[in-house]
Amino acid sequence: MDKDQSFLFAGIHFDRKKFAGDFVKFRQENKDAVEESGLAVVEEGSSEASAKDKKRGRKRKAGSLDSVDGFNVFKSSKKAPEDLDDEKKGDESDVAARQRKEFYRKLERDAVMRKKFNVHVSGSDIPSPLQDFTELRTRFRCKSYLLRNIAELGFSEPTPIQRQAIPVLLSGRECFACAPTGSGKTLSFVCPILIKLKRASKDGIRAVILCPTKELAAQTTRECRKLTRGSKFRTKLMNKALLRNPDLSKLHGDILISTPLRLRLAIKKRKMDLSKVEYLVLDESDKLFELGLLKQIDSIVKACSNPSIIRSLFSATLPDFVEDLARTIMHDAVRVIVGRKNTANESVKQKLVFAGSEEGKLLALRQSFSESLNPPVLIFVQSKERAKELYGELALDNIRASVIHSDLSQIQREDAVDDFRAGKTWVLIATDVIARGMDFKGVNCVINYDFPDSAAAYIHRIGRSGRAGRNGEAITFYTEEDIPLLRNVANMMVASGCEVPSWIMTLPKRKWRKHRPKRESISINPRE
């Protein structure tokens, strides 16, 4: 068949320009045929494959030049030139058939692997997922220091998001990634940066990672530094001290991690130059795209003016409006979703507890602590005033608790986090300021003392537990005021495999709106 085709078309020069419309149609038909065959995403060949194809193309060209040499070599041969031509065509079509077969096999292997790890992709020409970390060396020439650091961190195999997002970014593609809380998204964006930047340079900042809070920026900086041990890469955190520097135009460093507000200040007031930035990561991207931060993000995106910049968005929640907004600035981005978009982590056992009133909540908390306090426990409340009140109450019970909210100084906030991490405090009372991204090892239980104000807040809060494959628990207190939105949380619980009393599922479905009802004071006993 192939032979016939090549015979039929031999000598025909197809004018692609003249018949551009037909050519596109023809390509589309071919695409449809592949799609019907059920093989993963239509153009889901790896970019390495396409790179190989390009090389093959080059080789083919080179081959036609080689054939001149070849002709010379066989000049003395007894065979007639026509026979040689036929033989060569036969060989070429065999090679093409073999290559095609191998290509489809690869697509099938990729599809099987994605299915196994619950990875869903869309976009064109998507690279194969990683089988293991050693592929970072064989496929992407990762340096040994990075593999050593990954091993020292105890990561024996890549998590599903790492399997797919790392090769996507390493093949120079922009990317939206949505994967459950605690599933290793940080390594998914730091690792490609380190491999792609190759070596440290004095040319200024080449990668920027934006995080919505100072705490998360500090944590990501720490993680980055663990991964760059043994290399010359320098990771800079945009903190108060750095921001005092009147001229940041010559800042020495490779990777800069910042909150949007601080980076915008650095650009506007401290001559920060981001024109050489090759990688821009928006971590917790949906938070960064909220109204309050959008202006800052916009000016940072503009300041990163390198035309070949690679931008990526990561979060455990990726609403459609964020994707739509991001698509306006991204080129040919690949979308990687692990599991189902916007769902709670399945390793967290979730429970709803009716507490009746504010007083009932405090009683329920005290009772559960007196029966079994299984630290570390993280408690979320809806405002800093309530955080202070609850802290005061727990102090009366001699529970080793600390509190974190936006009224505290940066040092106090850092101390609260560090003490909780080090096990000096058993309970951390917090507002949503630390609901996103914070990686506290082994939080046994998250208590939503106050009902969350959005689906994303629920997913991120409870995602502080059940991280890196561990199990966790989440308890959500509710009172009469929260019942209108109870079904929303119940739906998320059901979607992640938890049981919910059947009456809750019969409640009317409501659209989430900012839910911060005015609640009675937490303190029952007036104190001095």
Ligand X SMILES: Nc1ncnc2c1ncn2[C@@H]1O[C@H](COP(=O)(O)OP(=O)(O)OP(=O)(O)O)[C@@H](O)[C@H]1O
Task: List residues near ligand X by CB under 6 A.
Answer: 155, 158-159, 162, 179, 181-187, 316, 437, 439, 463, 467-468
Residue 45: phi and psi, rounded to 5, are: -75, 155
Rank residues 136 and 266 by Cβ distance to ligand X and give the closer one: 136
HEC string of 24-64? Answer: HHHHHHHHHHHHHCCCCCCCCCCHHHHHHHHHHHHHHHHHH
Residues in the chain: 528
The dihedrals phi and psi of 194, each to the nearest 5 degrees, come to -65, -35
- Distance CA(209)–CA(281), nearest Å, equals 5
Cβ-in-10-Å burial (0-12, 13-18, 19+) of 144 comes to exposed
| Least Å from the CB of residue 144 to ligand X | 18
Judged by beta carbon, residue 345 or residue 382, the one nearer ligand X is: 345
- Cβ contact 348:496 at 8 Å: yes
Considering beta carbons, is residue 45 or 184 the nearer one to ligand X?
Answer: 184
Nearer to ligand X, 170 or 179 (CB): 179
- Smallest separation, CB 110 to ligand X (Å): 20
Max Cα-Cα span within the chain? 110
Q: Which residues of 299-310 are buried (b: 16+ CB within 10 A; e: fewer)?
A: ebbebbeeeebb
Minimum distance from residue 492 beta carbon to ligand X (Å):
15
For residue 267, the minimal CB distance to ligand X (Å) is 26
Residue 188 or 479: the one with the smaller Cβ distance to ligand X is 188
Least Cα distance to 117 among 157, 152, 154, 147 occurs for: 157
103 or 145: CB nearest ligand X: 145
Q: How far apart are CB 285 and ligand X at their closest, in Å?
A: 11
Residue 149 CA from chain centroid, whole number: 20
- When the beta carbons of 145 and 155 are compared against ligand X, the nearer one is 155
Checking phi first, is residue 182 left (phi over 0); if not, alpha (psi -120 to 50) or beta?
Answer: left
Report the alpha-carbon angle 152-156-162, nearest 5. Answer: 105
In degrees, rounded to 5, the angle at the alpha carbon of residue 275 between the alpha carbons of residues 269 and 277 is 110
**Residue among 89 and 226 whose Cβ is closer to ligand X:** 226
Directed axis angle between helix 214-228 and helix 185-197, to 10°?
A: 50
| Nearer of residues 394 and 438 to ligand X, judged by Cβ | 438
Kindly tell me which of 221 and 479 has the beta carbon lying closer to ligand X.
Answer: 221
CB of 487 to ligand X, least distance (A): 25
**Locate tokens 């739509």: which residue?**
324
Task: Rank residues 156 and 398 by Cβ distance to ligand X and give the closer one.
Answer: 156
**Least CB distance from residue 274 to ligand X, whole Å?**
24
Q: Shortest Cβ distance from residue 424 to ligand X (Å)?
A: 19
CB of 216 to ligand X, least distance (A): 8
Choose among 379, 527, 371: nearest CA to 450.
Answer: 379
Q: How many CB atoms lie within 10 A of CB 272?
A: 27
In the complex, what is the shortest distance from the CB of residue 114 to ligand X, in angstroms, rounded to a whole number? 17
Provide the minimum distance between the beta carbon of 290 and ligand X in the complex, in angstroms, as a whole number: 16
Residue with smaller CB distance to ligand X, 386 or 461: 461
Euclidean distance between CA atoms 453 and 457, whole angstroms? 6
The nearest distance, CB 133 to ligand X, in angstroms, is 8
The pairing of strands 334-338 and 255-258 is unpaired
What is the spatial distance between Cα 311 and Cα 301, in angstroms, rounded to a whole number? 9
d(CA 107, CA 42): 10
